[in-house]
């Protein structure tokens, strides 16, 4: 245990030392975000910060915690990570098209599926029992990795936002996997804790006012690793093991799903960027940059606390908890106008019922 704690501290320090070096490298090779209509930065900002996290994370895994992991898994994951990092670095320097980024993520996901052998194989459906996914295992696994990776990538819009949300999500996942879900391989929790340590070392440079951004190098890497970590608990997925990572990742998943819905309702391409994401809406309501980030951290913590209730609940309790969470989430989304100021079906329905009830009492 002392060795693991010492290694986590070393990872934190290594990320702390590497980040300024990566910052200089970013300027030198042109991995820079220049101000434009969609950016919040007003001066050129170095990106590619994820490279420092990647190096710190893997240095610890291979040199300090090597005996904690199966070598085959470590090497296969490094190969997949390298594909993601290369995709992100190329995008930070030259700006890839969406389909090109998807190709890079898909190649890394195929490494995870075929070489690391991390995949969904069965699904336990309530009242029906265990269902073998068969040929559907591959597309479902790929969709899961692509979805989570892109969800984290989409919320990387403010200083420290994706980094902090990832720290909260990974910390919760590590605790849940270790204490509640009986994941057979405890090395997953150790690996998640190592990534958290690397992110904590990077955060001081990334929090507002940021000195360096994650870039796609970082946001794709973090999202990809979160998706892969969650798959270890989803090999034989149940309702509980499937819903917990979804709840833990409530912030990026909510933002992504409602962004897709918003663009479909407005008859715009799903891949078309806009300034109506969760962080944009909160800032448009008058919150400062830092306040917005802290509010979203708070929302992420709420999701994390909710996720910890699932292992303590039975099936019906979990279903009721899910319904209550979705109800509260929809109220929040409509209140801040995430889909649009005029699209508030639940709020309008509640107002209608309140008016009807008040009229009944007035007539009495």
Contact (CB, 8 A) for 191 and 62: no
The whole-number average pLDDT for the span 274-279 is 85
pLDDT band at residue 266 under the 50/70/90 scheme: confident
Per the rule left: phi > 0, alpha: psi between -120 and 50, beta: everything else, 132 is beta
Is 298 a domain residue? no
To which residue do tokens 């008859």 refer?
267
216 labelled ligand-binding:
yes
Residue 206 tokens, joined: 């990334």
Question: How deeply is 175 buried, as exposed, middle or buried, from its count of CB atoms within 10 A (0-12, 13-18, 19+)?
Answer: middle
> In whole angstroms, what separates CA 316 from the centre of its chain?
27
350 dihedral zone (left: phi>0; alpha: psi -120 to 50; beta): alpha
Does the residue 364 lie in any domain?
Answer: no
Beta bridge partners of 212: none
182 is in an annotated binding site: no
Number of domains in the chain: 1
What secondary structure letter does DSSP report for 234? Answer: -
Please report where in the chains the tokens 């999500």 appear, as a residue.
169
> 10 Å Cβ neighbour count for 1?
5
Residue 40 has pLDDT above 70, yes or no: no
Other C-beta atoms closer than 10 Å to the C-beta of 237 total 23
327 within domain boundaries = no
Residue 274 within a domain = no
Rounded Cα–Cα distance for residues 343 and 345 (Å): 6
Helix/strand/coil percentages in the chain, nearest 5: 70, 5, 25
The string of pLDDT tens digits covering residues 53-81 is 999 999 999 999 999 999 999 999 999 99
In a domain, 354, yes or no: no
pLDDT for position 38: 57
138: which 2 tokens? 């591959």
- Answer whether residue 7 is part of any domain: yes
- 147 within a domain of the structure (yes/no): yes
Q: What are the backbone dihedrals phi and psi of residue 86, each rounded to the nearest 5 degrees, phi first?
A: -65, -40
At residue 185 the predicted structure's pLDDT band, cuts being 50, 70 and 90, is low
Boundaries of domain holding 81: 2-257
Predicted TM-score (pTM) of the model is 0.93
Residue 156, domain member (yes or no): yes
- pLDDT tens-digit series, residues 135-167: 999 999 999 999 999 999 999 989 999 999 999
């Amino acid at each position: 245990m002392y060795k693991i704690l010492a290694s986590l501290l070393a990872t934190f320090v290594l990320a702390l030392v590497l980040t300024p070096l990566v910052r200089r490298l970013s300027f030198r090779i042109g991995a820079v975000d220049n101000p434009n209509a969609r950016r919040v930065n007003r001066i050129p900002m170095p990106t590619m910060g994820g490279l420092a996290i990647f190096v710190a994370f893997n240095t610890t895994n291979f040199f300090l915690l090597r005996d904690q992991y199966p070598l085959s898994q470590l090497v296969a994951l490094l190969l997949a990570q390298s594909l993601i990092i290369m995709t992100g670095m190329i995008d930070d320097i030259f700006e890839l098209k969406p389909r090109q980024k998807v190709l890079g993520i898909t190649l890394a996901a195929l490494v995870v599926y075929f070489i690391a052998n991390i995949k969904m194989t069965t699904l336990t459906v309530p009242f029906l029992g265990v269902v073998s996914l068969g040929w559907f295992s591959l597309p479902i696994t790929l969709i899961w990795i692509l979805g989570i990776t892109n969800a984290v990538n989409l919320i990387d819009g403010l200083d420290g936002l994706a980094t902090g949300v990832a720290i909260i999500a990974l910390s919760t996942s590590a605790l849940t996997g270790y204490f509640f879900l009986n994941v057979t391989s405890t090395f997953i929790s150790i690996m998640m804790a190592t990534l958290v340590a690397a992110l904590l070392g990077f955060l001081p440079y990334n929090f507002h006012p940021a000195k360096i951004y994650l870039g796609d190098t970082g946001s794709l890497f973090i999202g990809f690793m979160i998706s892969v970590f969650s798959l270890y608990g989803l090999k034989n997925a149940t309702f509980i093991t499937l819903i917990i990572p979804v709840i833990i990742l409530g912030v990026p998943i909510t933002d992504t799903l409602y962004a897709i819905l918003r663009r479909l309702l407005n008859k715009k391409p799903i891949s078309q960027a806009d300034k109506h994401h969760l962080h944009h809406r909160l800032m448009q309501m008058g919150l400062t940059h830092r306040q917005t980030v802290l509010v979203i951290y708070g929302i992420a913590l709420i999701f994390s606390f909710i996720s910890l209730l699932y292992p303590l609940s039975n099936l019906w309790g979990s279903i009721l908890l899910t319904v209550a969470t979705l109800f509260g989430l929809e109220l929040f989304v409509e209140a801040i106008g995430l889909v649009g100021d005029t699209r508030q079906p639940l709020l309008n329905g509640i107002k209608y019922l309140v008016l009807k009830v008040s009229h009944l009492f007035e007539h009495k």
